[in-house]
Structure 1
């Protein structure tokens, strides 16, 4: 089962600002160097296009796939396999700026697991309730501490 990441306006604004800042940093010399060669111009434009493409890919190709034995969280080329047996706790979080995060919304979940480098991953599935239900089917011992709409402490 595949869950797409929820995308909110706040996240879109951050990505747009990042692309604008990247564009200014990379393309600024074009405006002020009258002796710029076509090769340098092409190189700067190529760097901007590749960088922007990477930012968009990592930001909007986010999905969480449940396989038989593990959860795969993926954002562009960044991937983590999390065994269901390793998951200990799922909580809600609004803190999207710290820790290991593969999300695109402030309406997020934090999945704690034993083998994690940082101990948890922050994700933002569109349908949080279905996502949690699927995790609970695969790992009934997972503790759930949710504080939005369907208050539940398992």
Structure 2
């Protein structure tokens, strides 16, 4: 079973600002030259396109996959496998700037696990209620803190 990540306007605006700042930083040297050669222009373009592509790929290809033994959280090149037996509790969260997170919305769920990188991972499934119900089936001993 696969769940896609919810994408909210705040996150889209945040990504647009990040890409704009990356573009300004990448193309800043062009403002100091009267004549622009092809090689420097291509080099600066690559210094923009490659990081921008990785950022956009990571941000807008997020999915959460239920496997037989673990939950796979994937966003671009980043993957996390969370064993169902290691999940201790879940809680709702709207703090997307701290901790380990693979999400694209402020309407998030924090999954606490014994083996997680910082003790938990924050995700933002599109169908939150269905996602939690499926997780309950696979992790009957986990605690649900607050209203998710």
Name the TM-score, length of structure 2 as normaliser: 0.96
Map Cα deviations across residues 16-59 of structure 1 (whole Å, 9 max, x no partner): 00000000000111122224421011111122111211111010
Q: Distance in 1 between matches of 2:122 and 2:38?
A: 44
Map Cα deviations across residues 80-125 of structure 1 (whole Å, 9 max, x no partner): 0000000000100011100000000000000000011200000000
Q: Distance in 2 between matches of 1:134 and 1:90?
A: 13
Structure 2: stretches of 5+ with no match in the other structure: none
Q: Distance in 1 between matches of 2:50 and 2:117?
A: 29
Look up the SS of the partner of 1:99 in the other structure. coil
State the match for 2:54 in structure 1: 54
State the match for 1:38 in structure 2: 38
State the match for 1:96 in structure 2: 96
Structure 1: stretches of 5+ with no match in the other structure: 149-154
- Going from structure 1 to structure 2, the CA distance change for 1:4 and 1:146 (only over 3 Å counts) comes to farther
1:118 maps to 2:99: no
Look up the SS of the partner of 1:101 in the other structure. coil
Name the TM-score, length of structure 1 as normaliser: 0.93
Aligned residues, how many? Answer: 148
Q: Distance in 1 between matches of 2:117 and 2:17?
A: 29
State the match for 1:147 in structure 2: 147
Q: How does 1:43-82 map to 2 (within 5 A)?
A: 43-82=43-82
Map Cα deviations across residues 106-154 of structure 1 (whole Å, 9 max, x no partner): 0000000001120000000011111111111111101112425xxxxxx
